[in-house]
Amino acid sequence: MRISVTDRCNIRCFYCMPDEQIRFKPRDEILSHEEIERFVEAILPLGINQFRITGGEPLVRNDLPGLIQRIAALPGVEDLAMTTNGVLLADMAEDLHKAGLQRLNISLDGLQEETFRRITRREGLQKVLKGILAAQQLPFRQIRLNTVAIRGITEAEIIPLGQFAREQELELRFIEFMPLDAEEGWESQQVLDGDEIKRTLESAFGPLVPRSRPNPSQPAVDFEFADGRGRIGFINPITQPFCGECNRLRITAEGQLRNCLFSTEEWDVRELLRNGATEAEIRNRLRECVMHKKAGHGIDSSDFQRPERAMYQIGG
């Protein structure tokens, strides 16, 4: 279960949100810490034991370590992770770890200031790098770097990112650009596919050796360099959809369940939480959401219907 805790963010990546004229949800529409905790507690008996905190940018949510602590303390929570852009991470990493956060995914689309500004439309690369360093000083179970691959923008970043990940002993994942940008500028020609990235990395660092998939539902296909220095993953939702194995569910910051990033339907949990519903009723709402999950996202279909919501409104 991926839990979005806010739709707000401190940068403006074009593949996720608009640059201006953004209508964020009012605070009273966003789930409170207590509501999120109650939701998690209600669904744990269904066997959902892995949770990821997302946004927007989760680190802009007030007292995020306090929310992490609430969730981590619930019996049955086996894995608690977070995806962040890293801008505020240097100052918060220690508190997050102490609160019970186990794993981190940090967005890093490039190592050049120009690339960072072009994508995020803001400054902040050095803050992200400081955040990565701060997280590495702590005993997180895993730290991954996430890179959105965009043709015409990030090709020159592939090898430097691969070298950085090898030097820092960090896992690096490349994610194909998806049609979830708020300004609806996505075109299929902008998709820089995983196979091309793999060939580029191998030209610089030698063969990439396939790794086994201990979790068949994971979205990434993983490799490691033949010399043992580094691990690379490819998430290819456009060119190699993995819908048949997907077990991801999402709840938006204002309490709407979604069974797919590209879902055009939502199931309201907030009204249950705010109207005295029982845990059984919350679980039944989740079951209903799961039962309506489609076989695939259908991006390659002629009748594909793009979601009205952009990534920052869904929870990436």
- Of the candidates 232, 255, 188, 291, which has an alpha carbon nearest to the alpha carbon of residue 31? 255
pLDDT at 303 over 90: no
pLDDT at 278 over 90: yes
pLDDT higher for 198 or 311? 198
| Pair 165, 173: CB distance under 8 Å | no
Domain residue ranges in the chain: 2-314
Half-sphere exposure of 40 (CA within 13 A, CB side): 31
Q: What is the pLDDT of residues 78-127, one digit of tens each?
A: 999 999 999 999 999 999 999 999 999 999 999 999 999 999 999 999 99
Question: What does the alpha-carbon distance between residue 199 and residue 206 come to, in Å, rounded to a whole number?
Answer: 9
Other CB atoms closer than 10 Å to residue 314's CB: what's the count?
26
C-alpha distances (whole Å) from 172 to each of 10, 35, 146, 224 are: 23, 34, 6, 10
The pTM (predicted TM-score) of the whole model is 0.94
- CA 222, distance to chain mean position in Å, is 17
Element holding 38 (H helix, E strand): helix 33-43
Q: Which residues pair with 208 in a beta bridge?
A: 225
| Cβ-Cβ contacts under 8 Å for 153 (sequence gap 6 or more) | 115, 118, 119
Q: What's the CATH code, domain 2-314?
A: 3.20.20.70
pLDDT at 20 over 90: no
Q: Enter the tokens of residue 229.
A: 């220095």
Question: What does the alpha-carbon distance between residue 8 and residue 55 come to, in Å, rounded to a whole number?
Answer: 7
The DSSP bridge pattern shows strands 171-176 and 142-149 to be: parallel
Question: What does the alpha-carbon distance between residue 206 and residue 222 come to, in Å, rounded to a whole number?
Answer: 16
- Of the candidates 249, 250, 223, which has an alpha carbon nearest to the alpha carbon of residue 234? 223
Q: Which residues pair with 142 in a beta bridge?
A: 103
Q: Which residues pair with 83 in a beta bridge?
A: 105
Q: What is the pLDDT of residues 38-52, one digit of tens each?
A: 999 999 999 999 999
Question: What does the alpha-carbon distance between residue 209 and residue 207 come to, in Å, rounded to a whole number?
Answer: 6
pLDDT of residue 246: 87
One-letter amino acid at 109 equals D
pLDDT at 302 over 70: no
At 133, give phi and psi (nearest 5°).
Answer: -60, -45
